[in-house]
Amino acid sequence: MSDLTSLEKSLSAEIAAAASEEALEAVRVSALGKKGSVSALLATLGSMAPEARKEAGAAINALKDRVTEALAARKAVLKDAALDARLAAERVDVTLPVLEAGLETGRIHPISQVLDELTAIFADLGFAVAEGPDVESDDYNFTKLNFPPHHPAREMHDTFFFNPGENGERKLLRTHTSPVQVRTMLAQKPPIRVICPGRTYRCDSDQTHTPMFHQVEGLVIDKSANLGQLKWVLEEFCKAFFEVPSVKMRFRPSFFPFTEPSMEVDIQCSRKGGEIRFGEGEDWLEILGCGMVHPNVLRNCGLDPDAVQGYAWGMGIDRIAMLKYGMPDLRPFFEADIRWLRHYGFRPLDLPTLAGGLSA
């Protein structure tokens, strides 16, 4: 009996010292497993006399019951402690504000929004979107667009040129999206009706100019394209983009190598209170350049100027975005300041539509 008492004290100490359910399970196996200390005592009963077996069996089974109860009690204590630790680790302070979802905090850049607005407007007028590479050849960027060999735009201080290749040709970063017009005329047969949005590059940087900026150009080529159609398209665009019922436009003679005649377009506006409003007032603001496609450009692109003619226009996307949404400086467009984007950006689901309003 003294052996049972000693064993019980030893097992009770081990049970009390178990710091985890895994450690407690190890104690249970060492005591009650097939080769455990209590199980070993039960195995000795077979060799005892009947009277001794009866007395020893009762004592050993009582010890087994007490050990089992002690294990169960300790397991309950450890389980409660584990639960308390988990609750403490996973505790959430419900008094803190809930973090806003990405759709609430994310913002669409004004340039991306205006590109979607332009696409919606011109798609409604029957225009497709054409794209081309940012790195262009001198031929597509200048020569096929009727730029003379020594035109100032071909100089390094106006254009970003790459080092000459093995054949001596210098690639460049396109200075306008007009090469996309060239590629379109070379790849498609008239009638052609496309807009060409994209990034362009020039050596210039100040409050209203950056070395990289965005431009959109339009091109129409068919048998009956004329200045009257060009004027109507531009008026419809301005009314839809600036969301005004009517606009007055002024066409002034100008010069571009790739159009003849060439014109710059002013739109009526009011500048009262330092704010520009379109469709009212007595001031004028230049917004774009346009003209009839030069016959030399048509010939360079494999088209017969006696059979087809066309008109084209171009404008800066960054500039019209500034005019529409009241942004005073162009440089923050490219500074990745999250505060600026939260102020001027658009919610991800504010998709511009002509039916629902472009900037609604």
In which band, very low, low, confident or very high, does the pLDDT at 244 lie, cut at 50, 70 and 90?
Answer: confident
Q: Is residue 357 part of a domain?
A: no
Confidence at residue 135, expressed as pLDDT on a 0 to 100 scale = 94
Angle, in degrees to the nearest 10, between helices 227-242 and 317-325:
40
Q: Is there a single domain that holds both residue 116 and residue 257?
A: yes
- Same domain for 335 and 191: yes
pTM: 0.68
CA nearest 202: which of 256, 244, 160? 160
First and final C-alpha spacing in the chain: 91
User: Which pLDDT belongs to residue 226?
Assistant: 94
Banded model confidence at residue 260, pLDDT cuts 50, 70, 90: very high
- What residues are paired with 221 via a beta bridge? 192, 310
**Is 237 inside a domain boundary?**
yes
The answer to whether the CB of 233 falls within 8 A of the CB of 125 is yes
- Report the SS3 class of residue 36: coil
Q: Are 260 and 292 in contact (CB under 8 A)?
A: yes
Assess if residue 306 is contained within a domain. yes
- Collapse the DSSP code of 166 into the 3-class scheme (helix H, G, I; strand E, B; otherwise coil) and give the result: coil
What mean pLDDT comes out for the span 244-259? 90
Q: Are residues 29 and 129 in the same domain?
A: no
Q: Coil, strand, or helix at residue 89?
A: helix
* Domain total in the chain: 2
In terms of domains, do 121 and 226 share one? yes
Question: How far is the C-alpha of 311 from the C-alpha of 55, rounded, in Å?
Answer: 115
185 in the same domain as 130: yes
The residue that leads in pLDDT, 7 or 140, is: 140
What is the Cα–Cα distance from 339 to 208, expressed in whole angstroms? 20
Question: Does the pLDDT at position 356 exceed 80?
Answer: no
Same domain? 242 vs 123: yes
The pair of three-digit structure tokens given for residue 316, joined into one six-digit string: 């800066």
One domain for residues 241 and 276: yes
Lowest mean pLDDT among 101-105, 241-245, 345-349: 101-105
Q: Is the pLDDT of residue 355 over 70?
A: no
Are the beta carbons of 297 and 179 closer than 8 angstroms?
Answer: no
User: What is the share, in percent, of the chain residues with pLDDT greater than 70?
Assistant: 92
Q: Average pLDDT of 204-213?
A: 73
Q: What is residue 38's DSSP assignment?
A: H
- What average pLDDT does range 312-329 have in this prediction? 87
Q: Taking the CA of residue 337 as centre, how many other CA atoms within 13 Å lie in the half-sphere pointing to its CB?
A: 9
Answer yes or no: do 40 and 72 share one domain. Answer: yes
**Confidence tier at 264 by pLDDT (50, 70, 90):** very high
- The strand ranges marked E within the chain are 128-129, 135-136, 172-173, 192-201, 212-222, 249-256, 259-270, 277-278, 283-293, 309-316
Contacts of 335 (CB under 8 A, 6+ apart): none
Residue 169 belongs to a domain: yes
131 shares its domain with 271: yes
Question: What range defines the domain where residue 15 resides?
Answer: 2-89
